[in-house]
């Protein structure tokens, strides 16, 4: 299946309930401690933060889902406009289509719609086997990106092609790319989570951040196994992965890199919980894509709701700003306690 056609099918399939994880991201097993005598007003709360030197109005980034086609351009434009207005970050989908066909780069040129915010490009780790650092950096310069995410997606790749190769070179390629690229590098998963072992290895490189992209949101294993008629593999591996909350805890223990918590984040309370667990930003993807189909204003409204919910969460915890919030304690329960054992 051609890359562009597959990307457009991702847009449709990612918004279908059957392609969401049945299991949760385990953030419901994180209990925050109520502080009803915080001593300040809700209006005094400051949600502003910074990430890799860039300012955010609050700690949220719209993470990548798809890109490189006419259809995805329309949706990404709506997301970019909304993120610019609300002052949060935005990451484009995989640049693979543009690397395969330079005429497709026009679908990645979002900077004119979001001139001020933190804008990420995105590439698969296996693509580092095929393209030079210079070629990738040239792409990043042309679209005026601030950073690049390199996504790890072995489970998804095997749904597309059970004979896929190149995984043995991924770590050395990432290490080399982070050393040679002139752009900050973020390593992310796509819904199966980052383990302690993986985070520890990545900590030895010059990457700047890790997006855990844990299980609990959209399952690209289910999506691509459906696209390639691999029903059996979907039934076996569709729920495979580390829940987001557990992945954040593991990554925090194993690495000193900045952390993005994504994977099933659906409200401002979950953003607050993620930051208390150790994340620096939270990320959403499918919820923004759903709203982007309705237009820029719908995405703006979603972002406003999430910020309001975060603000209320901070108030109820007695945190006047993001720095104070990250110092708050949480009570872990049940399955998450098992994941968090040494």
Helix, strand, or coil here: 188?
strand
Q: Would residue 190 count as lying in a domain?
A: yes
Q: Would residue 46 count as lying in a domain?
A: no
E strands, the chain, are: 30-32, 49-51, 54-56, 60-62, 89-91, 119-124, 147-151, 185-188, 209-211, 258-262, 281-284, 330-332
Strand-strand pairing, 147-151 and 119-124: parallel
Q: What pLDDT is recorded for position 4?
A: 66
DSSP state, 128?
G
Nearest to 8 by CA among 76, 63, 100, 102: 76
Q: Would residue 338 count as lying in a domain?
A: no
25 close to 277: Cβ distance less than 8 angstroms: no
**CA 147 to CA 131: how far, in whole Å?**
17
Q: Would residue 42 count as lying in a domain?
A: no
Domain that holds residue 222: 3-29+60-132+154-319
pTM of the model: 0.96
Nearest to 7 by CA among 75, 78, 67, 64: 67
CATH of the domain at 112: 3.20.20.70
Could you list the mean pLDDT of each consecutive 10-residue stretch along the chain, which spans 342 residues? 73 89 98 97 98 98 90 96 98 95 96 98 97 98 98 96 95 98 98 98 98 97 92 94 98 98 98 98 97 97 98 98 98 97 84
Q: What pLDDT is recorded for position 15?
A: 86
Q: What pLDDT is recorded for position 1?
A: 65
Q: What pLDDT is recorded for position 299?
A: 98
- What tokens were used for 215? 């299980």
Collect all residues with Cβ–Cβ distance below 8 Å to 216 and sequence separation of at least 6.
21, 23, 24, 25, 26, 27, 243, 244, 263, 264
- 214 CB neighbour count, 10 Å cutoff: 30
Q: Would residue 341 count as lying in a domain?
A: no
Strand-strand pairing, 330-332 and 30-32: antiparallel
Q: Would residue 329 count as lying in a domain?
A: no
Q: What pLDDT is recorded for position 68?
A: 87
Q: Would residue 278 count as lying in a domain?
A: yes
Q: What domain count does the chain have?
A: 1
- What tokens were used for 281? 């930003």
Q: Would residue 36 count as lying in a domain?
A: no
Nearest to 91 by CA among 47, 38, 126, 54: 54
Q: How many CA atoms lie within 13 A of 336 on its CB side?
A: 22
């Amino acid at each position: 299946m051609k890359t562009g056609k597959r990307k457009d099918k991702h847009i449709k399939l990612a918004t279908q309930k059957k392609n969401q994880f049945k299991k949760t991201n385990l953030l419901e097993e994180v209990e925050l401690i109520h502080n009803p005598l915080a001593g300040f007003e809700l209006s005094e709360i400051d949600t502003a933060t910074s990430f890799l030197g860039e300012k955010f109005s609050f700690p949220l980034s719209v993470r990548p889902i798809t890109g490189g086609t006419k259809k995805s351009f329309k949706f990404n434009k709506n997301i970019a406009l909304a993120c610019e207005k609300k002052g949060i970050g935005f990451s484009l989908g995989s640049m693979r289509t543009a690397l395969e066909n330079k005429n497709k780069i026009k679908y990645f040129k979002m900077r004119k719609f979001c001139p001020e915010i933190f804008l990420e490009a995105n590439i698969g780790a296996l693509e580092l086997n095929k393209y030079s650092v210079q070629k990738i950096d040239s792409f990043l310069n042309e679209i005026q990106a601030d950073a690049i995410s390199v996504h790890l997606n072995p489970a998804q790749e095997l749904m597309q092609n059970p004979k896929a190769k190149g995984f043995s070179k991924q770590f050395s390629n990432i290490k080399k790319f982070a050393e040679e690229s002139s752009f900050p590098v973020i390593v992310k998963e796509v819904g199966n989570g980052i383990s302690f072992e993986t985070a520890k290895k990545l900590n030895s490189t010059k990457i700047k951040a890790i997006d855990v992209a844990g299980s609990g949101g959209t399952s690209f294993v289910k999506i691509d196994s459906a696209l390639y008629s691999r029903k059996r593999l979907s039934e076996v591996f569709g729920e495979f992965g580390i829940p987001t909350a557990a992945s954040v805890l593991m990554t925090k223990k194993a690495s000193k890199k900045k952390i993005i918590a994504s994977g099933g984040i659906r409200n401002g309370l979950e953003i607050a919980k993620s930051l208390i667990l150790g994340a620096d930003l939270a990320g959403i993807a499918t919820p923004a894509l759903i709203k982007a189909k309705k237009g820029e204003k719908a995405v703006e409204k979603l972002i406003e709701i999430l910020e309001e919910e975060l603000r209320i969460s901070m108030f109820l915890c007695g945190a006047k700003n993001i720095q104070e919030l990250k110092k708050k304690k949480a009570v872990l329960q049940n399955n998450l306690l098992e994941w968090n054992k040494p």
